[in-house]
Amino acid sequence: MSARQAGRSSATAPYRAADAFDLERIRADFPILRQQVHGKPLVYLDNAASSQMPQPVIDRLVHYQSAQHANIHRGVHTLSALATAEYEAARCKLQKFLNAAEAREVIFTSGTTDAINLVMHGYGRKFIRAGDEIILTTLEHHANIVPWQMLAEETGAKIRVVPMMDTGELCLDSYEKLFNARTRIVGVTHVSNALGSINPVKLMIALAHAHGVPVLVDGAQAVPHMPVDVQDLDCDFYAFSGHKLCGPTGIGVLYGKAKWLESMQPFKGGGDMILSVSFERTVYNTIPQKFEAGTPPIAAAIGLGAAVDYLSTIGLAAIARHEHELLQHATERLRALPGVRLVGTARHKAAVLSFVLDGVHPHDVGTLLDQEGIAVRTGHHCAQPVMTRLNLAATVRASFAFYNSHAEVDALVAGVRAVQEVFA
């Protein structure tokens, strides 16, 4: 018997069913969704920027802070041992979530940006020299462009860019032709944050490996929406953020194959990342500690562990199915409106719908939708090369999560029609 059948309030019974997708029960787990904005029920469609946190994750953070907090890896006292065990247990949850071969391949970072910068410093500054080449794609978020530009400027390396078609799909023929003996790394986003295109990363990784080149996948927009298996993908690095995954801000993950992480130089120096220090010689710690200098965001890591537990209970496959239905519904309804142009029509897409309205600036659309309680993002989405390629300065972007409903999609469509009437 479910909690609801038993007459309990769904707000006090976190989602537990592994087999049935019960949207009402799921929504009841998210206190923020009960809010009103400008007197209207909140319709939160800015999940690509940051997702919301369910009560079990909030509760886990409160429990940690109220009963378990101490610094980790350094105290013999009980609380320090407990906090250390909980932090390392969170690492094991992330290992399982990604199907990484070993827990030491999971490095806690402050987010995707930090994880990519770690690869740039740890791998790039060690292995990339003048004249070497870095392959990126047009679809990258600035977080997977700017660090590599900094490295290119410092070393004299070159950046080569995989072009994109009008649909928002990468030109794979061109990708293959970019490889040569100087190619040192490929950086590719799994899912485009601006358009939602799902890139064929498994194929792209296999092609890179055929040339002996490692691949960094930016998974910030993929892990919240589909099952990800890093061993199946065979990626060398995989980066993502906790706050897009129903977890806290200030935490993220870099998965790296042990053979790379072991051969890389540390990114940040300090406590915990060393085995011994003298003014003559410092010996670095083994992985993962080698890449986790200083006191890490302990509570946030434990919160992220609780978030992946929560998502795994619902199931990423079920999440992907529900979000796909939402995306299809939104695509059909918005496409049917005269004066609306969808931006990004790749065959394989996840959870993101970008669009523009004839004669209305995206920022005006966002501001008017907000008056209706509807949260969307407008602008270039930190993916300016995508906008430039499509001759756009900005789009309106609705991005969905598993807790969104068909009714919320309908509210968005009604909101867009109301905006059009204002500007008619």
Does residue 189 belong to the site contacting ligand 7TS (CB under 6 A)?
yes
Residues 237-256 binding ligand 7TS (CB under 6 A) are 241
- Give whichever of 247 and 288 is closer to ligand 7TS, judged by the CB atom: 247
Q: How far apart are CA 4 and CA 9, in angstroms?
A: 7
Residues 99-118 binding ligand 7TS (CB under 6 A) are 111-113
Does residue 220 belong to the site contacting ligand 7TS (CB under 6 A)?
yes
Residue 375, C-beta contacts closer than 8 angstroms, at least 6 positions apart: 37, 42, 43, 44, 45, 46, 369
Residue 130 Cβ vs ligand 7TS, minimum distance, rounded to whole Å: 28
Q: Which long-range contacts (CB under 8 A, 24 or more apart) does 170-177 make?
A: 170/137, 170/138, 170/139, 170/197, 170/199, 170/200, 172/200, 172/203, 172/204, 175/135, 175/137, 175/204, 175/207, 176/207
Residues 108-167 binding ligand 7TS (CB under 6 A) are 111-113, 141, 143
Residue 5 Cβ vs ligand 7TS, minimum distance, rounded to whole Å: 39
DSSP 250-261: T-EEEEE-HHHH
Paired strand residues for 136: 161
- Give whichever of 100 and 220 is closer to ligand 7TS, judged by the CB atom: 220
92 is catalytic: no
Among residues 92, 171, 246, 382, the one annotated as catalytic is 382
Q: In the numeric block, which tokens belong to residue 102?
A: 């070993």
Does residue 199 belong to the site contacting ligand 7TS (CB under 6 A)?
no
Does residue 47 belong to the site contacting ligand 7TS (CB under 6 A)?
no
Residue 51 Cβ vs ligand 7TS, minimum distance, rounded to whole Å: 11
**Interface segment toward ligand 7TS; rule CB under 6 A; list 73-81, 176-184, 259-267, 377-385:** 377-385
Q: How far apart are CA 134 and CA 215, in angstroms?
A: 10
Q: How far apart are CA 263 and CA 292, in angstroms?
A: 16
Residue 390 Cβ vs ligand 7TS, minimum distance, rounded to whole Å: 16
Rounded to 10°, the helix 362-371/406-423 angle is 120
Q: Write the binding mask 258 to 297 for ligand 7TS: x where contact by CB under 6 A, - elsewhere.
A: ----------------------------------------
Longest dimension (CA), the chain: 73
- Alpha-carbon Rg for the chain, nearest whole angstrom, is 22
What distances in angstroms separate CA 125 from CA 179, 205, 293, one per listed residue? 20, 22, 18
Residue 397 Cβ vs ligand 7TS, minimum distance, rounded to whole Å: 8
- Give whichever of 220 and 306 is closer to ligand 7TS, judged by the CB atom: 220
Q: How far apart are CA 110 and CA 142, in angstroms?
A: 17
Which residues are known to be catalytic? 382
Q: Which residues bind ligand 7TS (CB under 6 A)?
A: 48-49, 111-113, 141, 143, 189, 193, 218, 220-221, 241, 377, 381-382
